[in-house]
Structure 1
Amino acid sequence: MTAAAPQGLLAKLDTQPRVRDFLMRAVTSDRASHAYLFVGAPGSGKLDAAWALAQALLCERDGEHGCGACDGCIRVARHTHPDVHYFAPESATGYLIAQVRDLLDDVALAPIRARHKVYIVDRAEQLRANTANALLKTLEEPPANVTFVLLGTSTDVMLPTIVSRCQCVPFRMLSARESAAAVVRATGLDEPRCRMAVAVAGSPVRAVEFLKSAERQEARRAMLRLIDSLPRADEADILLAVRDLMGTIKAPLADVKSTQQAILDQNADYLSRGALKQLEERNKRELSARERSGIMEALASARTLLRDVLMVVQGAPDETVNADASDIVERLSRTCTVSGAVAALDAVAHAERRIARNITPQLTIEVMLFDIRKALTCL
């Protein structure tokens, strides 16, 4: 019987048709590589494609590769499948050797639900010599049921030994117009709202997910309201507002925790104590990554708003992306200068770098908001 073409996440990668078609041919012919290296600029959809490939490989329907409707496909789409492991650097200098050891220990274990396991290694250019060497042999000869997907910006900044052991898949950079158009096609929503979602979420697929999440959209609105209030806020107001904001950002994690606990309960009877401990550690890492992603999304919301303020101050209102917050942009631009808007944007960029280095999120956002207040009010 001929395998059906994927209908899930992989089929939705219409902004990267060459990548989509290449991966479709690989999975439908059962010739998927044991290790891929997706390379491209931020926002090109590499992480979206990695999750899409994982869904295609873990689909539970016979003869299909990524139906999008079976339990396995749904879990992968929600990022809750126990056999898809996502890793990101946990240190300011890159991956920790302990992270790679945890990964290699897990590789040796059998899958929990599926017949296959997928490991997504984000920002793989931050695999330095000591961590990469531990991974090389497994990349070269992984177990038959394991696929690695490494994500990087360019092969030029990767260790050659890593590049040589992976099948490289290049991603082209998307224009803002292309990305927004893809979200319009996927959601049927108006173009301004889709353009905003892309600016906040970073890619078309994540923008679609963002527009489906009332909680993530509320976190954006909370950040916009907070920045709007800064010129009139004192220190106590800001500290209380940040506490509330952090609660809003963490709200979507409740469902993730519930799903993780259900999986632990289902597997408690037949997994060894060591395997259960590894699953618990993986769940903690996933929650941490989800929280960091939510924080970065909130910071992106602040960045896009302040960019709009800069555009208005410079006399280019047609370049704004937050059409639903035009009143906030107008209020802030009345008293802000070009240098003030630039300084405010610098404060957000500094906060994003601090979060990437695992500095305490609440403290980072507090410092950022104090700096933005100073910049906007020209104090």
Structure 2
Amino acid sequence: MANEIIAERSLLARLETQPRVRDFLAQAVATGRVSHAYLFLGAPGSGKLDAAWALAQQLICEDGGCGSCDACVRVARQTHPDVHYFAPESAVGYLIDQVRALLAEVSLSPIRSRRKVYIIDRAEQLRANTANALLKTLEEPPANVVFILLGPSADMILPTIVSRCQCVPFRTVPQTRSAELVERATGVSPERARMAVAVAGSPARAAEFLKSAERQEVRRAMLRQVDYLARADEADILTSIKDLMAVIKAPLDEVKSTQQAVLDRDSEYLTRGALKQLEDRFKRELSHRERSGIMEALACARSLLRDALLRLQGVDEPIVNEDVSEMVDRLCATATVAGVTAALDVVAQTERRLARNVTPQLALEVMLLDIRKALTCP
């Protein structure tokens, strides 16, 4: 049985919301029938990225994903030098130079493992020119390389890419089910489990969020910002954004320290080219984590605004931010349904801007000023 070959401490074991995907990937690794390229398809929050890192751990670990060895720990922390994460670096999607750099790196030998894994997020943003550069390698990659592409649906991805990958569908997971899993895994209250899922998305990331004091401080800081908007002027908002960015970047300090330790340790036996590749990868990782932190902060703002909208509309549904219900009450006392709806649209627009690589601090400044306008306009 597939369940019998999944180590309890592995990332794959945590994919409880996608049991079919979990068992399918475990069986593929255990039987040596791993595809050279996978395409994970599903809606946001369905756990595609969690599954990508879980499969990478299974492939990198000498014991097929034990969850406790040095390799497994490094993959779980997203610091293993042979697991590479890529996301679009321009407003129009993947850059051709970005894909060329990826392909140049593919031809190099692994640094610490027998395999290399490439996670390519938002594969729907691979357009014709960038896809063409990748197609041949996707079809016939080196024997030690596995690609994992992520996208919302096959219809949104170039058919030439879809045809070269093994498609793995992910089902949509209700937030109530995700919250139940977080509650069971962490022992927190139902209210905190709902909050963590609303902020982090998937159950696995929600559980990690609850373990991180720094990420929870980001939530508190963002909620305070939204709560303060009605009483703040533009100068106050622009000043406070700097403090908010500092809080968002705080969790990166540990990542930077881990990266530097890896560079210090490996610099003696890596070639100059390999060391440069590793440094570039670490820079991309930091950029990705910073943007992930900002997106999580936006999810916090969205959850507070959504709670206010539920209250204003008299919807009989528990709010997410029970622990700061007084903030929800203050928003409801001064805002209208139209104003809160407009503010939610601002958050969604900011997410799209960040996906197009708008400067994070600028995006947050514009967002908070626009939310303030939406909430205070009669």
2:269 pairs with 1:267 = no
1:206 maps to amino acid = R
Say whether the 8 Å CA contact 2:66–2:72 is kept in structure 1: yes
Please report how far the alpha carbon of residue 319 of structure 1 lies from its aligned counterpart in structure 2 after TM superposition. Answer: 4.0
In 2, Cα distance between equivalents of 1:310 and 1:299: 16
Say whether the 8 Å CA contact 2:21–2:170 is kept in structure 1: yes
Equivalence for 1:108: 107
Alignment of 1:33-44 (within 5 A): 33-44=35-46
Please report how far the alpha carbon of residue 347 of structure 1 lies from its aligned counterpart in structure 2 after TM superposition. Answer: 1.4
2:17 pairs with 1:15 = yes
In 1, Cα distance between equivalents of 2:101 and 2:374: 44
Equivalence for 2:6: 5
Say whether the 8 Å CA contact 1:6–1:24 is kept in structure 2: no
Say whether the 8 Å CA contact 1:40–1:153 is kept in structure 2: yes
Say whether the 8 Å CA contact 1:5–1:28 is kept in structure 2: no
Say whether the 8 Å CA contact 2:6–2:12 is kept in structure 1: no
Please report how far the alpha carbon of residue 34 of structure 1 lies from its aligned counterpart in structure 2 after TM superposition. Answer: 1.1
Say whether the 8 Å CA contact 1:40–1:152 is kept in structure 2: yes
In 2, Cα distance between equivalents of 1:227 and 1:317: 24
Please report how far the alpha carbon of residue 54 of structure 1 lies from its aligned counterpart in structure 2 after TM superposition. Answer: 0.5
In 2, Cα distance between equivalents of 1:4 and 1:229: 51
Say whether the 8 Å CA contact 1:308–1:317 is kept in structure 2: no
Say whether the 8 Å CA contact 1:6–1:56 is kept in structure 2: no
Tell me, what secondary structure is at the counterpart of 2:93?
A: coil
Equivalence for 2:93: 94
Alignment of 1:192-341 (within 5 A): 192-316=191-315, 318-341=317-340
Tell me, what secondary structure is at the counterpart of 1:332?
A: helix
2:138 maps to amino acid = L
Deviation sequence 1:193-224 (CA, Å, 0-9, x none): 11111111111111111111110010010000
2:6 maps to amino acid = A
Please report how far the alpha carbon of residue 188 of structure 1 lies from its aligned counterpart in structure 2 after TM superposition. Answer: 1.4
Please report how far the alpha carbon of residue 6 of structure 1 lies from its aligned counterpart in structure 2 after TM superposition. Answer: 3.0
Say whether the 8 Å CA contact 2:5–2:26 is kept in structure 1: no
Equivalence for 2:28: 26
The 4+ residue runs of structure 1 with deviation greater than 4 A are none
Q: Percent identity?
A: 71
In 2, Cα distance between equivalents of 1:199 and 1:5: 28
2:303 maps to amino acid = T
Please report how far the alpha carbon of residue 376 of structure 1 lies from its aligned counterpart in structure 2 after TM superposition. Answer: 1.6
Equivalence for 1:149: 148
Say whether the 8 Å CA contact 2:93–2:356 is kept in structure 1: no
In 2, Cα distance between equivalents of 1:291 and 1:5: 31
1:41 maps to amino acid = A
Q: TM-score, normalised by structure 1?
A: 0.96
In 2, Cα distance between equivalents of 1:119 and 1:6: 23
Say what the alpha-carbon RMSD is for the aligned residues: 1.4
Moved more, 20-29 or 308-317: 308-317
Deviation sequence 1:279-337 (CA, Å, 0-9, x none): 11111111000000000100110011111111111112524211112110011111110
Equivalence for 1:159: 158
Say whether the 8 Å CA contact 1:39–1:151 is kept in structure 2: yes
Say whether the 8 Å CA contact 1:308–1:321 is kept in structure 2: yes
Please report how far the alpha carbon of residue 4 of structure 1 lies from its aligned counterpart in structure 2 after TM superposition. Answer: 4.7
Gaps spanning 5+ residues in structure 1: where?
Answer: none
In 2, Cα distance between equivalents of 1:6 and 1:112: 25
Tell me, what secondary structure is at the counterpart of 1:207?
A: helix
In 1, Cα distance between equivalents of 2:183 and 2:76: 20
In 1, Cα distance between equivalents of 2:215 and 2:126: 31
Q: TM-score, normalised by structure 2?
A: 0.97
Deviation sequence 1:26-80 (CA, Å, 0-9, x none): 11112211110100111111000000000111114xxx31111111111111111
Say whether the 8 Å CA contact 1:231–1:376 is kept in structure 2: yes
Deviation sequence 1:78-106 (CA, Å, 0-9, x none): 11111110001111111101111111111
In 1, Cα distance between equivalents of 2:91 and 2:316: 37
1:127/1:96 CA distance change after superposition, 3 Å: same
Aligned residues: 375
1:6 maps to amino acid = A
Deviation sequence 1:129-156 (CA, Å, 0-9, x none): 1111111111111111111000011111
In 2, Cα distance between equivalents of 1:56 and 1:79: 14
Please report how far the alpha carbon of residue 378 of structure 1 lies from its aligned counterpart in structure 2 after TM superposition. Answer: 2.1
In 1, Cα distance between equivalents of 2:168 and 2:263: 35
Gaps spanning 5+ residues in structure 2: where?
Answer: none
In 2, Cα distance between equivalents of 1:318 and 1:119: 41
Say whether the 8 Å CA contact 1:9–1:55 is kept in structure 2: yes
Tell me, what secondary structure is at the counterpart of 1:318?
A: coil
Tell me, what secondary structure is at the counterpart of 2:317?
A: helix
Tell me, what secondary structure is at the counterpart of 1:119?
A: strand
Equivalence for 2:81: 82
